[in-house]
Structure 1
Amino acid sequence: MKHFRNYHLHLLCLPVLLFLYACESFVEVDVPNDRITSVTVFSDDATAREAMDGVYIQLFNTAFAAGGNQSVSFLGGLSADTYTVTNAVPEMEAFAAHQPEATNSLNLALWSGAYNTIYMCNAILEGVVDNSGLSRETRAALEGESRFIRAFAYFYLTNLYGDVPLVTQTDYTVNALKARSPQTEVYDLILEDLNRAAELLDTGYPDNDRTQANRFTALGLLARVHLYLENWEQAETYSSEVLAATDLYELPDDLNTVFLANSPEALWQVSPEGWGGTFTHTRDGNLLIRITPTGSPVSLNETFITDLEAGDLRRDNWIGSFSSSSETYYYPYKYKIQYNATGSNYTEYSMVIRLAEQYLIRAEARTRQGKLEAAVADLNVIRERADLQPLVYTTAITQEQLLEEVMQQRYYELFSEWGHRWLDLKRTGKALEVLEGVSETDLLYPIPEAELLKNPNLTQNAGY
C-alpha cells in the first residue's frame, strides 16, 4: 500500500495551517515563527501534495467521516432503526428514539466535523488559486480533490440538517456570522464543485491507492446527487460512465474481500493511517464488532436479520454474532478486524463510495424512467453476487414493485454504511411510514445549540 509522504511532518503542520484562522479567538496578528502559513505549505508541488494528503488523513479523525460513534454511518444507522442500542448511552438512545436534542454532543461533533472538513478544503483551494509556485497538474489535482471533498461534506450536511450555512472561504470573521442558505443553493454549490472536479481530475489512482479521489469518484457522487434531486436521466448517465470503467472497477465474487484496502469495488476509501500510531484497524470495525457482552453499544435490529432472503450470502459474510449466557447479538461484520496494534498491515480501509451503489443508483434511475428490463439487469448483478435467484423480467412487473426491490437491495447491500438507509427513507417519503414514532420534524437533526449561541444569524430547525 502507499504510505503518505513525510506523514509525521505534515500531520503536525496541517492542523496549524488549516485551523489557525478558525479558532474562536481569531484576531489579525503576525504569524509566529513556529507556525507554517499557507504560503509556505504551498510553495512547491511536494509540500502542496502533502497538505492534500493531510486532508485525507484528517478525514479518518473527523467525526462525521471517521466511522465512529459520532459519524454519519453510526448516527444514520440509529435513525433508520438499523441498530438497537444495547448499552445505556443516553445520547445514542436519543438518536434511536428520533429525539436528539440541540445539546446532544454527538450531533455537535457530526456538524463540526463536516465544517472542519469544509474549512480544510477551502484552505487548500485558496492556496492553489493563481499559485505560480505550483505546476498546472498539481493545481488541477488539488483543486479537483478539494472541491470533491467539500461537495461530499455539504451533501451530508444538507441531507441531515436541511438549509445550512455555505462557507466557501477561511475568513473566520465572515464565516462566524453566516446565515443558513436554502438547500437549493447548497445543491447548486455541490453540483458546481463536482462538475469542476470531474473536469480536473484524472481517471487513475496513484500507486493504485484508492484513498485519493479521481474523476470516477466525482462521477459516482454526481450520480448519487442527481438521484436525490430526481434527475433520473443524469443519474443514469453518470452511474453508467462509472460502471463502464471495467479496467478499474469490478464486484469481487467473494464478499469477504469487498472492504479490503484498495478493493477493486472501491471508488473511494479512507485509510486507518489517520490513527497516527500503532493502530491499523478501522473505526467502523472497532465500534461495531462485538467480542464481549458490552463490546459494542449496538446490535443489528433483529427484523433486519429475519427479513433477509434465505441463502443470501450477505447474511453469512457481512453479519456476525456473539452469544452471551442469555442473549445473542448480531452486528455488522463487513470489516473483520476489531483491533490491531501491530503498526503494520493495513489490510482494511473504511469504504466510502463503492461500485455496488452505482448499480443500485442506475437500477432506480432506470426504473423511474420506465426502463424496467434494464433495471432488472442491474438488480440481478447485485442479487446474483449475493447468491440469490435472479429476477425474471416480464411485462407483468410494475414500476412500483421494482422500486420496492431496489429499496430492499439498497438496504441489504449498504446497511451500516454512510446513513444510506436513513437518507433513502427520507428522500422517498417512506420514513414516517416505515419508522415507528417518527414525525415530520424528526426528519432533520437539530442545529447544535453551541453554534446557535455563537452565531446570532443561525436559526433552529422546526421541532427543536
Structure 2
Amino acid sequence: MKRTWLLINKCLCLASVLCMFTTGCKKLVQVDEPDDSLTTSAVFSNDSLAQAAVTGLYIKIMTNSRFFLNGGMSLYPGLSADELQRTFTLTAEDQFFNNAINTNNTLIYVNLWKAAYAYIYQCNVCLEGLNKSNSVSNGLKKQLQGEVLFVRALCYFYLVNCYGAVPLALSTNADVNAMLPRKSVEEVYKQIEGDLLAANDALLSDKPSTTPTKFATQALLARVYLYMKNWGKAAEMASAVIDSRQFSLEGDLADVFKKDGKETIFQWAPVIDRINSAEGFIFVPSSQSVRPTYMLTKELLNSFEVGDLRRSKWVNSLAIGGVTYYYPYKFRIFTSSTSPQEYNVVLRLAEQYLIRAEAQAQQNNISNAIIDINSIRTRAGLPVFSTTVSKDECLQKIEQERRIELFAEWGHRWFDLKRTNRANSVLGSKGSSWTTEDQLYPIPLTELEVAPNLKQNPGYE
C-alpha cells in the first residue's frame, strides 16, 4: 500500500507540472504558459515519466467525487431525468431536479465544465509531449497516445450531451483557445469519432480493465454511432466487443460492479483512501441511522416489472423516521478501510447488447434485436419477449430495458430521452416549469464573461 501511494504522489506531482494552470484558470482554456519551457519535454524524457504523466491524468479524474468523470455524470443527469431526487434541500442540486438551472450554478461550472476542460487540456499536453518526444519507446508512445485520445473523446461525449455545441480545444495554445467559438454538435461528434478511431488503431486488446483498450474504444464508438444514428456502425462496434468473448454477463447481479466483474470493459481504480466507487460514496448511506442523500423516484420504482432481480439486487431501502427511502445499490460500499472492491465502472457489456439491439431494430432486424434484449432479461430473471413484435414495440421495449438496466449510471436515462425526442413528453410531467430548452445545461456565466466568442444556450439568456 505504501508503494502505491508513493506512485500516486509521484504521478500527482507530474500532473501538477503538466496542468499547473487548471486550478487558477479564469478563462475557458486560456492559460499562462509554464514558466519553464523545458518542463513538458523533461516529463516525457523516458518511458517511466511518460507513463506516470498519463497515470497522473487518471488520478486527477478520480480525485474528487461528484465531478465530471467520477460520479458527476451519474448524479446530475440522474436528477435532471426521472431517476433521482434529493431527500433534503440543497439549492444547487435541486435546480437539476427542477430543470431550472441558473447560469451561475457552481456545480455547472466547477464540477462539470471546468473539470472537463481541465482534463481535456491535460490530454492535449500529453499528446503534444508524446508527439515531440524522441525518448519514449515507440510501443509505449503509441499506447499512451491511444489512451489519452480515448479520454479526450470521453470528455467531449459528455460535454456535447450536456451542453450541446461546445468549443473544441485541441491544443495547448493559449491564444487560440481563448477565442474558441462553439462548434456544432455534428462537428464535435466528428472529432469524437476521429479520436476514437485513432485510439482504436493505437491500443492493444490484452490490457487490464483499468486501462483503456481496443475493446473500450469499440464500446464507446458503438455508443457514439448509436447517438449519431449510424445504425450499421453501432451494431458493428457492439458486435466486435460482444463477439470477442473477452467479457460475459455476470450470472449474479450482485457481482456486476465488483472490481473483478466479468462484464466490465473499462474502469478506473480509486485513488482516495477509504473510498471505493464515487457512486457508492454518493448513494449509499453512511450508516443505518442516516437517511440516504438521494432516493429513487416513484416513477422509476414503479417501472420495474414484478420479479425483476434488478429491483431486489440493485435497489436498497432504509426506514428513517417512519419514511422508507429507496436508493441505488449497484455499488454497495460507502467507505472501507480495506483494499477497494469496487472501481469506477465506465463501460460494461450489458450496454453493448442494448446498443446492438437498438441498432438492429432501427434496421428492421427485429428478431436479432429481441434476442439481444432477452439476454439482458434472462439475467434479470424475467420472461423472454416474442420475436414477432413490431419495430415500434421493439424500440419501446429497448427503451424500457435501458431505463432499468442502466439507471443511476452515467446519465444514460437523461441522454436517452433527449436523443429519442422523448424528453418533452416524459419530463414535462415533472413540473410546470419544464421547457424544451431545459434539455441542455446552461453555459456557465463565468465562462461567458471571459470568453468573447461563447454564446449562451437558448432559454438561459
1:363–1:423 CA distance, 2 compared to 1 (3 A): same
Unaligned 5+ segments in structure 1 are none
Going from structure 1 to structure 2, the CA distance change for 1:48 and 1:165 (only over 3 Å counts) comes to same
Task: Note the C-alpha offset of 1:24.
Answer: 3.7
TM-score after normalising by structure 2: 0.93
Does residue 1:286 correspond to 2:281, yes or no?
yes
CA 1:5 to 1:27, structure 2 compared with 1: closer, same or farther past 3 Å?
Answer: closer
Alpha-carbon separation, structure 2, partners of 1:160 and 1:270: 22
Letter aligned with residue 242 of structure 1: V
Any residues of structure 2 matched to 1:397-408 within 5 Å, and which? 397-408=389-400
Q: How far 1:129 sits from its partner (Å)?
A: 0.6
> Residues 242-295 of structure 1, C-alpha deviation per residue, up to 9 Å, x if partnerless?
00111x21111011111111322111112112x1xx323222111111345754
**Post-superposition shift, 1:60?**
1.2
Which residue of 436, 442, 452 maps to 1:440? 436
Q: Quick check: 1:321–1:328 contact (8 Å CA) kept in 2?
A: yes
* 1:262-411 → structure 2 map (5 Å cutoff): 262-273=260-271, 275=272, 278-290=273-285, 291=287, 295-340=291-336, 342=337, 344-394=338-388, 397-411=389-403
Alignment correspondent of 1:218:
217
- Aligned residue for 1:94, secondary structure, equals helix
Q: CA deviation at 1:235?
A: 0.3
Q: Which has the higher mean CA deviation after the structures are superposed, 345-354 or 357-366? A: 345-354
Secondary structure of 1:303's partner? helix
CA distance in 1, matches of 2:289, 2:22: 44
Q: Equivalent residue for 1:237?
A: 236
Aligned amino acid, residue 72 of structure 1: M
Q: Does 1:77 align with 2:72?
A: no
Q: Which residue of 1 aligns with 2:15?
A: 14
Deviation at 1:444, TM superposition (A): 0.5
Q: What's the offset of the Cα at 1:173?
A: 2.7
Contact 1:262–1:269 (Cα < 8 Å) also in 2: no
Distance 1:28 1:302 in 2: 51
CA distance in 1, matches of 2:33, 2:177: 15
Change (3 A) 1:144 1:380: same
Structural mapping, 1:179-190, within 5 Å = 179-190=181-192
2: distance between equivalents of 1:139 and 1:83?
A: 42
Instruction: Kindly indicate whether residue 405 of structure 2 is the aligned counterpart of residue 418 of structure 1.
Output: no
Choose from 28, 36, 47 the match for 1:31: 36
1:102 is aligned with what amino acid? T
Residue of structure 1 aligned with 2:119, choices 117, 120, 136: 117
Q: CA offsets per residue over residues 318-350 of structure 1, 9 Å max, x none?
A: 00000013210000000110111x2x4111001
The match for 1:254 among 247, 252, 255 is: 252
Percent of paired sites with the same residue:
38
1:194 pairs, out of 193, 196, 202, with 196
Q: Aligned partners of 1:100, 1:28: CA distance in 2, in Å?
A: 34
User: Is the 1:289–1:295 Cα contact (8 Å) retained in structure 2?
Assistant: no
Note the C-alpha offset of 1:21: 7.7
- The separation in 2 between residues aligned to 1:151 and 1:29, in whole angstroms, is 25
Q: SS of the residue aligned with 2:76? A: helix
User: Residue type of the partner of 1:255?
Assistant: L
Give me the whole-angstrom Cα distance separating, in 1, the residues matched to 2:275 and 2:161. Answer: 31
Q: 1:178-208 CA distances to partner (integer Å, 9 max, x unpaired)?
A: 1111111111110110000001100112xx3
Output the amino acid matched with 1:364: E
1:320·1:331 contact (CA, 8 Å) conserved in 2?
Answer: yes
Does the C-alpha gap of structure 1 residues 292 and 102 become closer, same or farther in structure 2, counting only changes over 3 Å?
farther
Q: Distance in 2 between matches of 1:211 and 1:171?
A: 31
Distance (Å, rounded) in 2 between the aligned partners of 1:221 and 1:243: 13
C-alpha separation in 2, matches of 1:280 and 1:461: 36
TM-score, normalization: structure 1? 0.93
Partner residue in 2 for 1:57:
59
Three-state SS of the structure 2 residue aligned to 1:95 is: helix
Contact 1:56 1:211 in 2 (8 A): no
Matches within 5 A, 1:133-212: 133-205=135-207, 208=208, 210-212=209-211
Give the number of aligned pairs. 447
Distance 1:227 1:378 in 2: 16
Distance 1:255 1:30 in 2: 52
Aligned counterparts of 2:367 and 2:5: Cα–Cα separation in 1: 45
Asked whether the 8 Å contact 1:286–1:338 carries over to 2, the reply is yes
Q: Give the unaligned 5+ runs of structure 2.
A: none
